[in-house]
Structure 1
């Protein structure tokens, strides 16, 4: 089996920093929630509603590929995999537009827009790319995650005062994978729980989201309450992370750096406590960027790398869960 390495990561965060006061309702009744699940970050970034997901990807990818070339390494891209929180190229996806923006010639043989797996889609796409590269179907892959809900959706006057509106942020995280053993991906674990698929959806009463009608389109939990989501998240992330470490023959407490998605402070604290990982080995970007959904893992990883938290030989574990708990995944890299 051909070894596959996570060669580089990068991120792009919009310049506009938005504080909690942006979301205050006239009576401020909904701004300061007592619910830990809905307690807002101090800050988050907002994209301009006119910006597209592929524009954010380009701003993150271009410097990364230039850096790879500057090291004298091959930056040719055989695969492009993308995940966008709110797809703005709803028919043909953002991957092809990104390839065009980057001027990649010839165009990659593989362009895949991954719609599912949400907040942990970065690990999902890593697993897909690793499988293709390890089988000889490609030699390199570009992985891109975009969170674009906050500035386009929850910044709208009709939405910004809702209790969950301050939680999301916008940003983009990207990575470059390549055949080789310089920073090898060791193993991956994925867990599907299809019975929870219907528990998070668009909330538009009985109409389709594209049909005219009154009332705002919103995102929310349907058949299950917040407490059920909390219980699933607290259970699923330690489960996939522990199974991964058992495969590697390594206790979870020996993880050098654990990078998870960043849904809220409560999950972050519960996960590291359950796994026995010290806070200094579990970077937290929630208060700076909010919940970046699928971009949370690569953005947090890029920041940890830039902050000197990763050393050569470290065991890096990426882990998290998605939506209302219908998917969880973990992967390990020897940095």
Structure 2
């Protein structure tokens, strides 16, 4: 288990941006699928999702979020030493989306910029990566940009978002505690099997079929093993949260909010009940924003906690889990940080 503590990193602020376009899980599906979708909504808790038009990418949303956050923080562009992007839907296969964003944001050439390919667990992993760079002393101010664009518009689970988190070096910052884990033996549980070098796209991959409910599927669709995901999430996450709390010598009562990856209502409620956490301490954005992959933690905070966290002091548990399989948890103290309202673009 990868337990660690990082010092001298201040959580300065966070902003999230979603597309204007709203797709209703029931109203916007074919009539023949509505009864099945109604059942699905009851189980997974996703009533509507935000979906980008074809021309828009997650980085366009993250740009809007970054511009707003920099304005509220009154940070100068030339002060930004690092920009890390966590995504599984980059603008291009080559070059890195982070380097393109460095230019679009007007950051200096001295800014370290690179991408990391990670999904649902991306936020705590990205937070650890960037905080490590800051804690080492070479980076003073940095941006963590996380988001994804849905693979298929008709998928009833996934939604689009772009987010940014601002971190800075501070000798007075409380420590951040982490527990990060990976289990590649379960990589097929959440997988897009074609499109990489292992199996490049071919004409045969564009042939779709319909299941008994009328839903389209094909080799170029994201493959989800529901039972495996449920088992992994509900068995691995509760003990991981308990472990990092014990490591940090922090009780559950001392945590103001537990923010979990927005997988689905069944998974998240099982985790909450196993940990015996009051429902008012576990915010959810699933109903209105769906599963936004690695962006789901910042989206949930922006949508549900911005007015509670803005300018005040709170202790949060941030837990992401999924594709990989991978899972990570962080305990973060937030004080006098900026949390703009949810943005749309």
Q: Which residue of 2 aligns with 1:295?
A: 295
The answer on whether the counterparts of 2:259 and 2:318 sit within 8 Å (CA) in structure 1 is yes
- 1:81 equivalent to 2:84? Answer yes
Distance apart, 1:64 and its partner CA: 0.1
- 1:53 equivalent to 2:58? Answer yes
Name the SS for the 1:18 alignment partner: strand
Q: Which residue of 2 aligns with 1:177?
A: 167
Q: TM-score, normalising length from structure 2?
A: 0.83
Question: Unmatched 5+ residue regions in structure 1?
Answer: none
* Rounded Cα–Cα distance in structure 2 between residues aligned with 1:205 and 1:297: 28
Aligned in 2, Cα 1:286/1:185: closer, same or farther, shift over 3 Å?
farther
Name the SS for the 1:154 alignment partner: coil
* Rounded Cα–Cα distance in structure 2 between residues aligned with 1:59 and 1:202: 28
- 1:247 equivalent to 2:247? Answer yes
| Equivalences for residues 224-235 of structure 1 within 5 A | 225-235=225-235
Q: Which residue of 1 aligns with 2:328?
A: 329
Structure 1, 99-108 or 21-30: larger mean CA deviation: 21-30
Q: Which residue of 2 aligns with 1:142?
A: 143
Q: Which residue of 2 aligns with 1:91?
A: 94
Structure 1, 299-308 or 28-37: larger mean CA deviation: 28-37
Distance apart, 1:183 and its partner CA: 5.3
Aligned in 2, Cα 1:15/1:87: closer, same or farther, shift over 3 Å?
same
Structure 1, 190-199 or 126-135: larger mean CA deviation: 190-199
Aligned in 2, Cα 1:111/1:307: closer, same or farther, shift over 3 Å?
same
| Equivalences for residues 33-48 of structure 1 within 5 A | 34=39, 39=44, 41-48=46-53
* Rounded Cα–Cα distance in structure 1 between residues aligned with 2:290 and 2:17: 14
Distance apart, 1:36 and its partner CA: 8.0
Correspondent of 1:102 among 105, 110, 114: 105
Q: Which residue of 1 aligns with 2:342?
A: none
- CA deviations on 1:222-261 (whole Å, 9 max, x unpaired) are xxx4222211101222122111100111223432111111
Distance apart, 1:297 and its partner CA: 0.6
Distance apart, 1:35 and its partner CA: 6.0
Q: TM-score, normalising length from structure 1?
A: 0.86
Name the SS for the 2:113 alignment partner: strand
The alignment yields a C-alpha RMSD, in angstroms, of: 2.6
Distance apart, 1:23 and its partner CA: 4.8
The answer on whether the counterparts of 1:253 and 1:275 sit within 8 Å (CA) in structure 2 is no
| Equivalences for residues 1-335 of structure 1 within 5 A | 2-21=7-26, 23-28=28-33, 31-32=36-37, 34=39, 39=44, 41-69=46-74, 76-108=79-111, 110-116=112-118, 118-149=119-150, 153-155=151-153, 160=154, 165-180=155-170, 184-203=174-193, 208-213=199-204, 214-215=206-207, 216=218, 217-221=220-224, 225-308=225-308, 312-323=312-323, 326-335=325-334
Distance apart, 1:26 and its partner CA: 4.5
- CA deviations on 1:103-145 (whole Å, 9 max, x unpaired) are 112440x2120103x1120110110111111112311221111
The answer on whether the counterparts of 1:5 and 1:178 sit within 8 Å (CA) in structure 2 is yes
- CA deviations on 1:301-330 (whole Å, 9 max, x unpaired) are 22334232577342111012122x611100
